[in-house]
Amino acid sequence: MSLIVQKFGGSSVANAERIFNVANRVIDTYKEGHSVVVVVSAQGDTTDELLEKAKEINENPSKREMDVLLSTGEQISIALLAMAIEKLGYPVISLTGWQIGMLTNSNHSNARIKTVDTERITRELDKKNIVIVAGFQGINKYDDITTLGRGGSDTTAVALAAALKADLCEIYTDVDGVYTADPRIVKNAKKLDDISYDEMLELASLGANVLHNRSVELAKKYNVNLEVKSSFKRVPGTIVKEVGNVEKMLVRGVARDNDVARIAVIGIEDKPGKAFQIFSLLAKKNINVDIILQSIGRENTKDISFTVSKSHLQAALDVINENLGIIGAKEVKYSDKVSKVSIVGAGMVNNPGVASRMFEALYDAGINIHMISTSEIKVSVLIDEKDAEKAVVAIHDKFELSL
């Protein structure tokens, strides 16, 4: 008998009608003869509402207590979905992260999964139960509740699929697959039948909000069969798989990320070790840096520019300003009105000239480039935020991705 893990996001279980829609999807899979494990997120805006409740009580609560609070969102979802399946006459049980033995490290609010004890789930599946699991949560070695951070339910689903050696992991979302660009921006964006793990990982990391990058990393590591599907439409989705069988389209997609800020450290002494000083200070504060650009030295000074997420901007500015004297720099400038636009495609590695086509598209659209970053399967540019949507459309058209 095959085992399928299904994951439904918050919008899929936002109200009673949608919960019964999910219940029917799950039951249909069960009636086809599959064993079914279902991972659910907190309903709709529940997480935001819980954050507001916390703010009313304590402006700066401990991360441990926030994990205890936020984990209740998923607990509500699993109980309600189990009740719906129960009402429709099928055997079901809901389980929290700690009940399924989802062991994580102790990094509250952004914990990493260490191991999954599959004994309880296997026992329930042997009883022919549909098993509903709370996504986004686990426990650490001290039996404290932890949460897995953004996209945590995707990560839960893939981790369970890997641990249980599931035949398929289906991620249900409010879009019906992975597109060549955000269909809300590019009206003629095309749905992809399949995409490689590496391409999906880049798109997920670069702002395509379909799958979380940690879940794609896990799927690639354990070779989990992954499919992104619509919660609301019964149509085939996009299969994420190893690159070997994926058609080598030159560029697979265009992504936009507005959660980015640019920092420029001006007038740094032009001597060895300065870049190391700057980036080691940031690393100590767990600040991730993305695109980096260093100017050619002039008058014994140089400038270093780099990007961080907007949430890390203030912390990065603080640490650099506090150490300006040590770094030996004149000033720091920043902008949070920038956006990163990227193209991704495994076929790019053997095709020179892809970057120049992208730059030509931006030139034709009158868009100025501030910074550039490349890898084997992606090219990213930093541009003004106001130009981001225009850039995505121009690049998508230049590469004829809708054909």
The tens digit of pLDDT for each residue in 148-196 reads 998 899 999 999 999 999 999 999 988 889 999 998 899 999 999 999 9
Per the CB < 8 A criterion, the answer to whether 126 and 119 are in contact is: no
pLDDT attached to residue 248? 58
User: Quick one: CATH architecture of 338-398?
Assistant: 2-Layer Sandwich (3.30)
Q: What is the pTM of this model?
A: 0.87
Token pair, residue 234, equals: 């019964």
Percent of the chain residues past pLDDT 90, beyond the cut: 83
Write the CB contacts of 49 (distance below 8 Å, at least 6 apart in sequence). Answer: none
pLDDT at 279: 96
Residue 289: count of CB within 10 angstroms of its CB: 16
CA distance 210 to 197: 13
Residue type, 135: G
- The whole-number average pLDDT for the span 304-312 is 95
The C-alpha angle with vertex 374 and arms to 307 and 331, in degrees rounded to 5, equals: 25
| pLDDT value at residue 159 | 97
Q: Would you say 237 and 385 are in contact if contact means Cβ atoms under 8 Å apart?
A: no
Q: Which residues pair with 90 in a beta bridge?
A: none
Kindly report the number of other CB atoms within 10 A of residue 53's CB atom.
10
Strand partners, 168: 4
Please report which residue ranges of 224-368 form alpha helices under DSSP H: 274-284, 310-322, 324-327, 354-364
Question: Closest Cα to residue 338, out of 303, 390, 381, 294?
Answer: 381
Q: How far is CA 123 from CA 100, 102, 156, in A?
A: 11, 16, 19
Name the pairing type of β-strands 371-374 and 301-308.
unpaired
Say which residues have a Cβ less than 8 Å from residue 59's Cβ, sequence separation at least 6.
Answer: none
Distance between CA atoms of 329 and 201, rounded to whole angstroms?
Answer: 36
- Does residue 244 have a pLDDT over 70? no
Q: Is the pLDDT of residue 246 over 50?
A: no
Count other Cβ atoms within 10 Å, centred on residue 198.
20
In this prediction, residue 249 carries a pLDDT of 64
User: By C-alpha distance, which of 236, 245, 230, 238 is closest to 204?
Assistant: 238
Rounded to 10°, the helix 152-163/213-222 angle is 10
Other C-beta atoms within 10 Å of 239: how many?
19
Residues 6+ apart with CB under 8 A from 176: 191, 229, 230, 233, 235, 237
- In the chain, CATH 3.30.2130.10 covers 338-398
- Is the CATH code 3.40.1160.10 the one for domain 3-174? yes
What is the three-class DSSP state of 24? helix
Least confident of 125-129, 190-194, 339-343, 385-389: 190-194
What CA–CA distance (Å, rounded) separates 222 from 243? 14
- Domain 261-335: give its CATH architecture: 2-Layer Sandwich (3.30)
Helix or strand run (H / E) with residue 194: strand 194-196
How far is residue 135 from each of residues 236, 243, 290, 300, 386, measured CA to CA in Å? 24, 28, 29, 54, 36
Taking the chain, what is the end-to-end CA distance rounded to the nearest angstrom? 40
**48-104 pLDDT tens trace:** 999 999 999 999 999 999 999 999 999 999 999 999 999 999 999 999 999 999 999
- Residue 211: count of CB within 10 angstroms of its CB: 26
CA 65 → CA 52, 168, 189, 230, 389, distances in Å?
Answer: 14, 35, 42, 34, 39
The answer to whether residue 247 scores a pLDDT higher than 70 is no
